[in-house]
Structure 1
Amino acid sequence: MNISGNTVFIPGATSGIGLALAVELQARGNTVIVGGRRVGLLEQIAAEHPAIDTVQIDTTDGASITSAAKEVLAKHPDLNVVVAMAGIMRIEDWHRPASFLASAEEVITTNVLGPIRLIAAFIEHLQAQPDATVVTVSSGLAFAPLKVTPSYNASKAAIHMLSESIRLQLADTTVKIVELEPPAVRTSLLPGQENSEFAMPLDEFVAEVVALLESQPAAKEIQVERVKFLRYGEARGDYDHVVEVLNASDPHGR
């Protein structure tokens, strides 16, 4: 993926990693469209960052994705990058089904069905572009489990394998599949995470991501240094140690 000269749509970017990445990509010479559910946040982004376009989208709703895709493509027919950023994380106790089932279903709908529907809404358009990219967002927890977030871990493992698979299928097209694999980052993904000393500062994470995109335009996976402990535990042969350290590192195991 080239670091500039793109038209980029990032649904799920009204806060956290998505918004920080949107701002940085716009500053790097890209046209950026941010998507989100909450109109108030979209209006705030438009006021604070007038160069960034906004569109309302709920990635848990297939009809909303279809409608938003039509709006984005009507306004930005040169769209060539889609970043499937929207995601949620929930703490679950699997001893009691009543306490986790609804949460687990919500996580899978948002984190797995959302990206699948999103890619489906844009993939024909992207294949018609001379150079296009789909950025999926998995996690270090796709490769080592945090015990308190089973459905989140599973959803991100699914995104990793989805990315691997569709990259193979789309190898005969102009569409590249790039998988972003964050570690814990100081955002509000879980309560208290934005202040966690175990999580990577947001500005440092985004700066490293952008530097990697710039220096490795052909990369299939974007991995900041902090995530490699989780990503390669099995390959190094110290997977059990990684899982032990991960789940003992702070109250949430991050």
Structure 2
Amino acid sequence: MDITGNTIFIPGATSGIGLALALALKDKGNKIIIGGRRAALLDQIAAEHPEIDTVQIDTADSASIQVAAKEVLARHPELNVLIAMAGIMQVEDWHKPAGFLASAEAVVTTNVLGPIRLVAAFVEHLQTRPDATIVTVSSGLAFTPLKVTPSYNASKAAIHMLSESLRLQLSDTTVKVLELEPPSVRTPLMPGQEDNEHAMPLDEFIAEVVTLIETQPDAKEIQVERVKFLRYGEARGDYDQVVATLNGTDPHGK
């Protein structure tokens, strides 16, 4: 993916990684369209950044995706990048259905069906562009599980394999598939995460991501250094140790 000259739609970008990435890509010379559920946040972003377009979209709602896609393509027929950013993460207890079922259904709807439906809404259009990219967002937790968030881990593992598969299927088109794999980043994704000293500062994460896109335009996965501990545990042969460390059960405290 080239770092500049794109028209990029980012649903799920009214806060956190999505908004920070949108602003960084805007500064690199891209036209940005931000999507989100909350009209008040969209209005605030539009007022503070009049060069950014906004559209209301709920990625957990198939009909909303269809309506928003038509609106985006009508206003921006030059659109060539889709970044499927929207996602939720919830703590679950799988000992009894009351502790996980409703959460799991919501997580899968947003984190898996959402990106699938977004791709369905834009993939034909993207194939008409001479250089297009679908950016998926998985997680370091796609490769190493956090005990308290089973559905989130599974949803991001699904996104990883979906990305791998789409890349193969779309290899005969102009559409590239790029997978962004964040570590824990200081955002409002989970309560207390913004102040978690073990999470990566948001500005550092975004700066490293932009540098990687700029210096590795043909990359298939965007991995900041801090996510590689989780991403490659199995390949290194220390997967059990990585799982223990992530979940606070490492007797050595590493």
TM range, smaller chain: over 0.9
Separation in structure 1 between the aligned mates of residue 194 and residue 248 of structure 2, nearest angstrom:
19
Match in the other structure for 2:177? 177
**Cα displacement (A) at 1:192:** 0.1
Aligned to 1:231: 231
TM-score (norm 2): 0.98
Q: How far apart, CA to CA, are the structure 1 residues paired with 2:145 and 2:49?
A: 37
1:53 maps to 2:53: yes
How does 1:1-254 map onto structure 2 within 5 Å? 1-248=1-248
In the other structure, the counterpart of 2:252 is: none
What is the one-letter code of the residue matched to 1:61? D
The one-letter code sitting in structure 2 at the alignment partner of 1:242 is: V
SS of corresponding position for 1:114: helix
Q: SS state of the match for residue 135, structure 1?
A: strand
Tell me the CA shift for residue 207 of structure 1. Answer: 0.4
Q: Distance in 2 between matches of 1:190 and 1:115?
A: 20
What whole-Å deviation, never above 9, does each CA across 1:109-167 have from its counterpart, x for those lacking one?
A: 00000000000000000000000000000000000000000000000000000000010
1:96, CA displacement in angstroms?
1.6
The gaps in structure 2 that reach 5 residues or longer are 250-254
The letter for the 2-side match of 1:72 is V
Displacement, 1:43?
A: 0.3
Distance in 2 between residues matched to 1:220 and 1:75, nearest whole Å: 29
CA RMSD, 1 decimal: 0.9
Q: Which moved more, 1:155-164 or 1:47-56?
A: 47-56
Partners of 1:227 and 1:52 lie apart in 2 by 30
CA distance in 2, matches of 1:104, 1:90: 8
TM value normalised by structure 1: 0.98
Deviation at 1:100, TM superposition (A): 1.0
Unaligned 5+ runs, structure 1 = 250-254
Residue aligned with 2:70, SS: helix
SS of 1:47's partner is: helix
State the AA in 1 paired with 2:9: F
Q: State the Cα distance separating 1:34 from its structure 2 match.
A: 0.2
State the alpha-carbon separation in 2 of the partners of residues 99 and 126 from structure 1. 40
Structure 2 counterpart of 1:123, one-letter code = V
